Amino acid sequence: MGELFLHQTHLLPAPRERVFAALSERGELSRWWGPDGFTIPEIDFDPREGGAYRIAMQPPEGELFHLTGAFREVDPPVRLAYTFVWDPATADDRETLAELDLRELGDGSTEVRLNQGPFATEERRSLHDGGWGESFAKLDRLLAG
């Protein structure tokens, strides 16, 4: 069986520099990160190669949990790549690599290609697929507004 990767493409209504800022600035990230209903009560974010991050995520119901990782590539406004691991992790979680590539389109919008993996199970890949999808929908609304 091959390794499980997540691939998404999102078209966002803003120039690449604005989209990159939303993906890489702590104050911006906390406005859209996470699935619908989630809040980000605390975020430490150092987007430079070798820098680390820790995001506290509060679901609508349930316990606060954290997401941590380290930045592997930071190339404004073109690319971000960072590791991604849950804290606490479940038995089928593993560290993945999230890669975000930004391409400015001629109409002032930006295409973001997300690749993440490898995942241990299809369930974990599917969980991230939904979470990223809802997060990018929130980012789209933020940038459009």
Mean pLDDT in residue range 125-143: 97
User: What is the mean pLDDT of the segment spanning 28-56?
Assistant: 96
Residue 130 in this model has a pLDDT that exceeds 90: yes
Return the amino acid letter for 54.
Answer: R
Distance CA 20, CA 116 (A): 18
Rounded to two decimals, what is the model's pTM? 0.95
Number of structural domains the chain divides into: 1
Q: What pLDDT does 2 receive?
A: 73
Residue 56 sits in a domain of what CATH number? 3.30.530.20
Give the residue-averaged pLDDT of 127-142: 97
**Phi and psi based region of residue 62 (left: phi greater than 0; alpha: psi -120 to 50; beta: remaining):** left
Phi then psi dihedrals of residue 118, to 5 deg? -80, 150
Reply yes or no on whether the pLDDT at 29 is more than 90: yes
Average pLDDT, integer, range 135-144: 97
Q: Which domain holds residue 129?
A: 4-144
Average pLDDT over residues 49-56: 97
The pLDDT of residue 1 is above 90: no
* Digit-coded pLDDT (tens) for 64-113: 999 999 999 999 999 999 999 999 888 899 999 999 999 999 899 999 99
Q: In the Cβ-directed half-sphere of 132, how many Cα atoms lie within 13 Å?
A: 22
